[in-house]
Structure 1
Amino acid sequence: MSTEITSDAQRFTDDAASRSRSVIESRSIDWITPEERHGSPWRISPLFFIANWSFFTVALGFTGPALGLSVGWAITASALGLLIGTFFMAFHAAQGPRLGLPQIIQSRAQFGFYGVVVVVAMSLTCYLAFGVVYTILTAQGLAQIFNWSPVAVGLVVNITGGLFAIAGHDHLHRISQIVFYVTVPLVAIFSVAVVSGHAGGETPSSAEHGFVTSAFFTVFAVSAAYNIALAPIVSDYTRYLPAKTSSRSLVASVYVGAGISALWLIALGAWLSAHYNATDALVALHDAGNAVFSGFGAVLALASAATLIVCTATAAYSVALQFLTGVDLVKRFRPTRTLRIAVTAVTIAIYLVVALPFGDHVINAASNALSLMLFLLVPWTAVNLTDYFFVRRGEYAVTDLFTPHGVYGAWSWRGIVAYFVGFAAMIPFAVLPFFAGPLGELLGGIDISWLVGLLVSSVLYFLFSRGLDRDAERVAVQHSDATLDTVEPADVTPHRPAADVL
């Protein structure tokens, strides 16, 4: 097996000199060799900070005051929700350096080589919907403020984001750092103005805003689920770190980045909702910014829109990795730079074709799709994290993740059953825009389905995994590590032998 995999990898090589000269990332779903690893844990933080650093997150802050919560209670509920939800998302970061692979491919260990199709379909739908929503919100928001053409704005945002996605991993981290250093001071100035009472607005009536139990737990649940949505892409952006990167530092870096930015903007959103009766986040930022001083609102609006370019880029980049993972289930292919670029370009085209002609007509459908996808993500993250930290404890045979005949098999009933039972357990507790389960209604609209899904899926998977043949897996891990030691930096990931192809 070792000889087969090694020779197979060496048949699919790119020119090493070409790799070193190119400014475009050459990898896609292939394994990152030790020689290509670089960076440190805290340099990862800006990308996950920027992932939540836009008026998309500000709008999330409208939820509490709209349901009757005071600004203080809305922020408290959000903080508690993010404290828990970000915890689950951030721990996926540790998997990237250890395995050197995109997030979804790692799920083959829990669901089997073909069983991971469930996760691929879910994550693809989620991040295609994200891109459509980003495009519509940015195009329509800037058109409303500046009277710009929505089509022109949509094209600029997506083409610019697409170019960064094509450039790849390192460039996405660099642009995130630049946007971080440019925009954080602007929002800090606005935040000081809010606290000091120089951002305008009207004082909300205490009779209209206070503490409402159902609203508090709704905001808690929404905030907890918000960062869980990032879980399927976390390792996409940590897989180039050295294998010996401190997991503790890396998890803390991602946790701080994603958690602080989300809470900061949700808090501002809650304030804008209560003091401006805001319904459009970008317009509210613009109006409140101008109350600080003339023209500042336009700067804030443009800065917030700029972050969505980065969000669009990261979404398109991960969609390409997810799609290629799906293709790899049915057809053997060489994961080249050209193929990743082509899929990224098609993804950007989908964002534009769906968002620009239809606009408001698809925004509700896309938002509902996101709600459903967040719902579906919970049992997956439970299974994935339980496997990594409590079952296999970071020990995986990387080469076996690329064959249905390896130690993880074609279909793994443990992960699949734990996922679907957890999903089924969530349904009675669910409170979605288009559906409310009987227990969710009985609880007064308080959605605890995500907590039920986490508990049921993780406990079931752990119990099911007690029968795993860990001795056989350890032999496979040693075999895999020995094989990977023979792969040169110019080689692509060890692919399954020809006999494994359908």
Structure 2
Amino acid sequence: MERTASPAANATLIERRSIDYIPDAERHGSLFSQFTLWFGANLQVTAVVVGALAVVLGGDVFWSLIGLLAGQVIGGAVMALHGAQGPQLGLPQMISSRVQFGVYGAVVPLALVCVMYVGFSAGGTVLAGQAIAELLHVDRTVAILLFAALVVLLTGLGYRTIHAMGRVSSIVGTLAFLYLFASLLHGHALGALLAIRHFTLASFLLAVSLSASWQIAYGPYVADYSRYLPKSTSAPKTFFAVFSGTVIGAQVAMTFGVLAAALAGDRFSGHEVAFIVGLGATGAIAAVLYFAIALGKLTITTLNAYGSVMSVAAILTGFGGKREISPRTRIAFVLLTVAASSGLALAGQHSFLKAFSSFLLFLLVFFTPWSAINLVDYYWVTRERFDVPALFEPDGRYGRWNVAGLIVYAIGVLVQMPFVATGFYTGPWVDALGGVDVSWIIGVLVPGILYYVVTELKRSNAPDFMTLPDYSSEGD
């Protein structure tokens, strides 16, 4: 994986920037860190549970693994296309939505992003709390509060620390999963599991949908973690680094989930953390596994918290016409978002969180059309030609509201409704498709094509080349 030199003069532990453009002098990092971040973020217990669902809900091992891999490739490609925008734009992912929806109009997807990632953080906090409680022999409420404090610290430190944690998490996760696979398959022939094949289209599409939706959910913040790379960084290489990390990491975790569900049955479903740690034959190994589970959740929960902070800042600065926030304000946003997710975790650690999780999955319906519109605009309409200063000017080039973009977005949400299958809501056409949720396919294709057609029919307001802010008068 290609490495890029980082200017030592600009290396600081605490991140200085927030939603503003990253000047060339402050760019740093390597493509390898993109791989390790997304590889480590996906080697975690929630991905294991998602993979297990493919078998729990009726699939066999062989076709579940194939379907999950197909979904990883499709969803991972969408996700990595967002990630490749980071070095070129030097901005958090959701700021670029102002091009498609207007400076005020972008608040619509931004607000939904905040809700979803705070909710996902709450779910991760519950699982991490279980692991920390067992590891430190403390009450789960205490464990959740300890975990929240770590998330606040790491999110407050920002970009460099998050990438460093990704490297550690990828190493610990790799070692943990090697041990887990060996323990799980001990005395079982993998070939025998793969030989049992009973293909059904519904089960196969379910596996594809599970992993594709998992990957697409990263879309609203993936560029947040590539925006510091030097502008000269190759877009295809950035795509490959992000894509390979997220696909390999998720597929490894989900493969373990498939095999665990097939071999353990009821001993796994509903008791995921206990089952995984139960594979550790001694107390010391069990402690290491609890640590690995907690670290995996710490990585992804910090990503969620950091992305939420960027979204909250983007909402408030959009109405205020500002292009940055102070370090003190950023810390306040960190405390606000982590407090919200921790409060949900404490309230819902026993029962509420399961119902809330269904609501969060339903929110994914609102992100596939956003993703399609954002990618079509960036790669086929504006072709990377952004007026960055205008992104922070409500009366500038992109205006307050982009009515055409918002209408296409609304259509993209509505056309998915008949195909949605969640515990929160199920569309009327789901039964005809064998109970499989294919809304994400409709949500990518329809608004993507419609947005391209609409923008072709009207005059593009894209500049002739990318316009960047002037930092010449900014202090060192």
Length-normalised TM-score, structure 2: 0.91
In the TM superposition, what are the counterparts of 1:14-53 in structure 2 within 5 Å? 23-53=13-43
Instruction: Mark the CA change 1:486 to 1:345 in structure 2 (over 3 Å): closer, same or farther.
Output: closer
**1:286 equivalent in alignment to 2:274:** no
**1:330 equivalent in alignment to 2:316:** no
Equivalent in the alignment of 1:243:
231
Equivalent in the alignment of 2:82:
92
The Cα shift of 1:193 comes to 4.4
Cα distance in structure 2, aligned partners of 1:242 and 1:256: 20
Alignment partner of 1:189 out of 174, 179, 185: 179
Alignment partner of 2:114 out of 121, 124, 133: 124
Alignment partner of 1:398 out of 364, 388, 409: 388
Equivalent in the alignment of 2:63:
73
Instruction: Mark the CA change 1:273 to 1:143 in structure 2 (over 3 Å): closer, same or farther.
Output: farther
Length-normalised TM-score, structure 1: 0.87
Q: What do the CA deviations read for 1:154-176 (whole angstroms, capped 9, x no partner)?
A: 12211112101000101100111
Cα distance in structure 1, aligned partners of 2:303 and 2:205: 30
The Cα shift of 1:119 comes to 1.0
Cα distance in structure 2, aligned partners of 1:96 and 1:21: 19
Equivalent in the alignment of 1:11:
none
Q: What do the CA deviations read for 1:124-170 (whole angstroms, capped 9, x no partner)?
A: 01110011101112223554687531012112211112101000101
Corresponding letter in the other structure for 1:255? F
Alignment partner of 2:298 out of 305, 309, 314: 309
Please list every run of 5 or more consecutive structure 2 residues that lacks an aligned counterpart in the other structure: 1-8
Q: What do the CA deviations read for 1:434-456 (whole angstroms, capped 9, x no partner)?
A: 22212222111122111111110
The Cα shift of 1:41 comes to 2.0
Q: What do the CA deviations read for 1:338-367 (whole angstroms, capped 9, x no partner)?
A: 111111012122222221243123212331
Q: Which segment is superposed worse, 21-30 or 224-233?
A: 21-30
Cα distance in structure 1, aligned partners of 2:364 and 2:348: 24
Please list every run of 5 or more consecutive structure 1 residues that lacks an aligned counterpart in the other structure: 1-18, 492-502
Q: What do the CA deviations read for 1:428-486 (whole angstroms, capped 9, x no partner)?
A: 1111222221222211112211111111000000001113434x5325x56x33xx245
CA contact (8 A) 2:128 2:297 kept: yes
Alignment partner of 2:146 out of 152, 156, 174: 156
CA contact (8 A) 2:321 2:394 kept: no
The Cα shift of 1:213 comes to 3.0
Q: What do the CA deviations read for 1:269-323 (whole angstroms, capped 9, x no partner)?
A: 1111111121122112112233xx6643432232122111121211111111100
Would you say how many aligned residue pairs link Structure 1 and Structure 2?
Answer: 463
The percent of aligned pairs where both chains have the same amino acid is: 30
Instruction: Mark the CA change 1:145 to 1:433 in structure 2 (over 3 Å): closer, same or farther.
Output: farther
Cα distance in structure 1, aligned partners of 2:286 and 2:189: 12
In the TM superposition, what are the counterparts of 1:268-417 in structure 2 within 5 Å? 268-277=256-265, 278-279=268-269, 280-290=271-281, 295-332=284-321, 335-417=325-407
CA contact (8 A) 1:200 1:288 kept: no
CA contact (8 A) 1:33 1:488 kept: no
Cα distance in structure 1, aligned partners of 2:349 and 2:391: 40
Corresponding letter in the other structure for 1:283? A
Cα distance in structure 2, aligned partners of 1:487 and 1:439: 57
Q: What do the CA deviations read for 1:366-395 (whole angstroms, capped 9, x no partner)?
A: 311220121211100000000011111111
Instruction: Mark the CA change 1:218 to 1:126 in structure 2 (over 3 Å): closer, same or farther.
Output: same
Alignment partner of 2:214 out of 215, 226, 236: 226
Equivalent in the alignment of 2:415:
425
Equivalent in the alignment of 1:463:
453
CA RMSD of aligned residues (A): 2.5
Q: Secondary structure at the match of 1:236?
A: helix
Equivalent in the alignment of 2:462:
473
